[in-house]
Structure 1
Amino acid sequence: MSELHKFLFDGLPVRGMLVRLTGSWQEILKRRQAAGGYPVEVMHLLGEMTAAGALMQSNIKFNGSLTLQIFGDGPVKLAVAEVQPDLSLRATATVTGSVDAGSSLSQLVNVNNQGRCAITLDPKDKLPGQQSYQGVVPLFGDRREKIENLGEVLEHYMLQSEQLDTKLILAADGQVAAGLLIQRLPVKGQGNLEGRGRTDRDANEDQIGLNEDYNRIAILAATLKREELLGLDADTILRRLFWEEQVTRFEPVKPSFSCSCSRDRVGNMLRSLGTAEIESIIEERGKVAVGCEFCGAQYDFDPVDAAQIFLSQSSQQPPTPTVQ
């Protein structure tokens, strides 16, 4: 069963989340089987992205979808994980070249340092003129060295976007996609650091102590091995890592697989192509066939179906006003 656990370290400005995707991750892979599945290296990357997407969505107060994308100049042209506010999720990857066994992140998407990671927040109920927010970070460091760990890429993004130190451990195989997130919380209000009669030195010493608390917990989190993250349950992982800490845990939530594709949405997409383009495809192939990359659903539109798309559009348009 897929679960996401949230927890706080009592008395410390540090929070954490642990996600283990089992059934939902296996469903994502199952939907890809008809197309031949993914190479092992791509499966690992996509699983890590899906776990990371669930953690990041749970880490923000946002009523909309979070989409994590990686794209570049390697054999994996695009990998996408999308997570809704209720933690329903889907993921897919487009592989256009051969993937060598043991390929690293840079070999998959960042051969010539053209790889990028994008995080898009799309509000569910957009206000007039409101646009989606997107942040993009490269897959290389300040000295142009290539980053081979997806967790490090996303740590850099969260430090840039939220100004909060974050430790992110990710792993995936054919059965489980999992992740552990540790984050330093902002200290709100002067009363947390300094009170009446306190000096700047006192406040600075308190801040150093708070940073040391986060650093200690982040170091503990970093000792978690891939095999442990994939093979152990949440209770065992948290007990082994933080047995000396006072941890408050919350009721786990259950991520699930869900795809938002529909015949109506595909019809809207075809309508945007225009009548001439659709008629050209039908003349050549006899129908328009569209497959969903996320869930594998197939949508076929014969000449009558295609005509109906544009008829329904014209019937929805308001009548042209006439001058009396």
Structure 2
Amino acid sequence: MTDHLKKYLLEDRTVRVQAVRLHDTWRAAQVNHQYPPAITKLLGELVAAATLLAANLKFEGALVLQMQGDGPIALLVVECRADLSLRATVKLREEYVVPDTGSLQSLVNPGGKGRFIVVLDPQSRHTGQQAYQGIVPIEGDTVADVLEHYMKASEQLDTRMWLSADGDHAAGMLVQRLPDNGGSAARAGISEEEAVEAAAETWRRTVHLASTIKREELLELDTDTLMHRLFWEETLVAFDPQTVQWHCPCTRERVAEMLRMLGRDEVEDILEEQGKVDVACDFCGKPYHFDAVDCAELFIDKPSLSSQNPPTMH
């Protein structure tokens, strides 16, 4: 089975509809993790959302969605690249017991000061260019609410999202109003005012139809069946499906570089305490083992970097 994202346009080209239903990709994201149902739901919905949004990237690079707060879930992260390869992870606070059920706000943002962060990171940057980062409060009861709030706050296109996830599937649908680039009235043989009103009506009608969707339909129906059930009276222009897959670029070399950044003294302290250094990738859970000889080789002809910035995993 291969996971796909599918795109459609309404007949007048003023509204975009996208849908994705992930199984293999979502199962791969969980293979080395045992998440409680509440975390599975939130992370799966964020995975579906990132896939839907990354499908519209205009550059080679990555979209990263992060939720940070003071609840049992300290951090939710999903990275999806323009080719729709993705990875995801969760950071939990050890002092909390994560319940099997719970709302987004209670699990991530009970103190009300949490942040939702969107990063657009081009693969090739110009000199001095930084990744774009947008930050808004975590507002709303669902992942879809948070995304819609961000899109509104950042003055982007009118967007609605419906998301759902369980242990087997992560699914979502996006409806987005497209800007008028001119010429639509002439092509339709109507006035500009009539074109604006027609586009507004298409948007209202599409959102109304999409809003009839049920959580179970998102999870259980394949995309073609779902689109027919929702929009059977509409003429949809369909595009070629895009493949979605799990991909984590971690390597032993990257982990070794992280240990070098950690510094010789810190690595030797771990060796003295444990006799080895074991590191697992935060995203895919792949284990990396470094014995005393491996650790010694890390610092041959390499200066200690312990005084530099703290390590990060990529």
Q: Which residue of 2 aligns with 1:235?
A: 224
- Secondary structure of the corresponding residue to residue 299 of structure 2: helix
Counterpart contact for 1:76–1:95, Cα < 8 Å: yes
- Could you tell me how far apart the structure 2 residues matched to 1:235 and 1:312 are? 58
- Secondary structure of the corresponding residue to residue 311 of structure 1: coil
Shift of 1:66: 1.3
* Mapping for residues 161-310 of structure 1, pairs under 5 Å: 161=154, 163-189=156-182, 191-192=183-184, 203-310=192-299
Shift of 1:78: 0.7
Q: Which residue of 2 aligns with 1:125?
A: 124
- Could you tell me how far apart the structure 2 residues matched to 1:290 and 1:211 are? 53
Match of 1:59 among 56, 61, 70: 56
1:9-36 Cα deviation digits (max 9, x unpaired)? 111411111001011101111221xxxx
Shift of 1:303: 2.3
1:173-202 Cα deviation digits (max 9, x unpaired)? 11110000010000013x33589xx9xxx6
Count of residues in Structure 1 that have an aligned counterpart in Structure 2: 298
Bigger Cα Rg: 1
1:235-268 Cα deviation digits (max 9, x unpaired)? 1110111111110111212211111111111111
Answering whether residue 108 of structure 2 is matched by residue 109 of structure 1, we say: yes
Give the direction of change, closer, same or farther, for the CA distance of 1:241–1:281 in structure 2 (3 Å limit): same
Q: Which residue of 2 aligns with 1:322?
A: none
Shift of 1:207: 2.1
- Could you tell me how far apart the structure 1 residues matched to 2:127 and 2:302 are? 23
Letter paired with 2:14: P
Q: Which residue of 1 aligns with 2:97?
A: 98
Give the direction of change, closer, same or farther, for the CA distance of 1:252–1:162 in structure 2 (3 Å limit): farther
Answering whether residue 28 of structure 2 is matched by residue 27 of structure 1, we say: yes
Counterpart contact for 2:4–2:20, Cα < 8 Å: yes
Letter paired with 2:97: S
Letter paired with 2:4: E
1:244-299 Cα deviation digits (max 9, x unpaired)? 11101112122111111111111111111222222222222222211112111111
- Normalised to the residue count of structure 1, the TM-score between the two structures is 0.87
- Could you tell me how far apart the structure 2 residues matched to 1:295 and 1:100 are? 23
- Could you tell me how far apart the structure 2 residues matched to 1:120 and 1:61 are? 14
**Higher helix share goes to which structure?**
1
Shift of 1:209: 3.0
- Could you tell me how far apart the structure 2 residues matched to 1:77 and 1:92 are? 11
* Mapping for residues 31-42 of structure 1, pairs under 5 Å: 31-32=32-33, 37-42=34-39
- Secondary structure of the corresponding residue to residue 260 of structure 1: coil
Q: Which residue of 1 aligns with 2:310?
A: none
- Normalised to the residue count of structure 2, the TM-score between the two structures is 0.90
- Secondary structure of the corresponding residue to residue 299 of structure 1: strand
- Secondary structure of the corresponding residue to residue 170 of structure 1: strand
- Secondary structure of the corresponding residue to residue 171 of structure 2: strand
Shift of 1:102: 2.7
Comparing 164-173 and 208-217, the one that deviates more = 208-217
Counterpart contact for 2:103–2:141, Cα < 8 Å: yes
Q: Which residue of 1 aligns with 2:75?
A: 78
- Could you tell me how far apart the structure 2 residues matched to 1:275 and 1:128 are? 32
Aligned-pair RMSD on alpha carbons? Answer: 1.8
Gaps of 5+ in 2: 304-314
Comparing 158-167 and 284-293, the one that deviates more = 158-167
Letter paired with 1:110: N
Counterpart contact for 1:64–1:123, Cα < 8 Å: yes
Q: Which residue of 2 aligns with 1:139?
A: 138
Counterpart contact for 1:12–1:213, Cα < 8 Å: no
Counterpart contact for 1:57–1:83, Cα < 8 Å: yes
